[in-house]
A and B are shown apart, each in its own frame.
Chain A
Amino acid sequence: DVKVTQSSRYLVKRTGEKVFLECVQDMDHENMFWYRQDPGLGLRLIYFSYDVKMKEKGDIPEGYSVSREKKERFSLILESASTNQTSMYLCASSRFSGNTIYFGEGSWLTVV
């Protein structure tokens, strides 16, 4: 069974803090993704990675960066958190040309 694990389910951070959201998958998937979910907007792609050290911007990359030093781990970084980044963040993974996407359980981030 594929498992995508997001290490933090609920976080509260202060404005200006640097925030790390970690995601680990256990199925040797090439592709990993970070989505942001907001009411009325659905899920929007922030960044994705198709290989170690490779990253591509998604639809809303502003204010975020990512790191993929190992194949199984994909980190989302908020360099200086702002209140408009309060949201639910979902990590996902898939095989390189696969069409089955596996999601983590989400991380709720509140920036105060």
Chain B
Amino acid sequence: AQTVTQSQPEMSVQEAETVTLSCTYDTSESNYYLFWYKQPPSRQMILVIRQEAYKQQNATENRFSVNFQKAAKSFSLKISDSQLGDTAMYFCAFMKRSGAGGTSYGKLTFGQGTILTVHP
């Protein structure tokens, strides 16, 4: 079974500054995906960024980037030039990759979440 741990229940940052959210995970799988989801007050889950474990290059999406350390089982999210609209709950999540060993059916294992507040 997989576990995902987010050790920061709450974080805050000033507008335009940079913030990093931490995530560690534990798995015996070698092929998997890691995700960061954003959940604003509307509660709609929004995919922020996805990393495929077999890719060494860290994923980037505009102001969002990850630091993926496979050996350390660490997957942090960096938000640059923070904006007020980034205020949300952020979840780190793990998915086993479907392949010769069977399908994952898309099941996600989530961390506890980090509430990020961006201050003007």
Q: List chain A positions with a Cβ less than 8 A from chain B.
A: 31, 33, 35, 40-45, 48, 50, 56, 58, 88, 90, 92, 94-101, 103, 105-106
Judge whether A43 and B91 touch: CB under 8 Å. yes
Judge whether B112 and A101 touch: CB under 8 Å. no
Number of A-B contacts (CB under 8 A): 60
Closest-by-CB residue of B relative to A100 is: B47
Query: Contact residue range for chain B?
Result: 20 to 34
**In the bound complex, how far is the Cα of B95 from the Cα of A106, in angstroms?**
21
Given A97-B98, A99-B50, A105-B42, CB of A40 within 8 Å of CB of B107: no
Judge whether B106 and A31 touch: CB under 8 Å. yes
Q: List chain B positions with a Cβ less than 8 A from chain A.
A: 4, 6, 9, 33, 42-45, 47, 50, 91, 95, 97-98, 103-113
Given A97-B98, A105-B42, CB of A40 within 8 Å of CB of B106: no
**In the bound complex, how far is the Cα of B104 from the Cα of A55, in angstroms?**
14
Closest-by-CB residue of B relative to A96 is: B103
Residues of B within 8 A of A100 (CB): 47
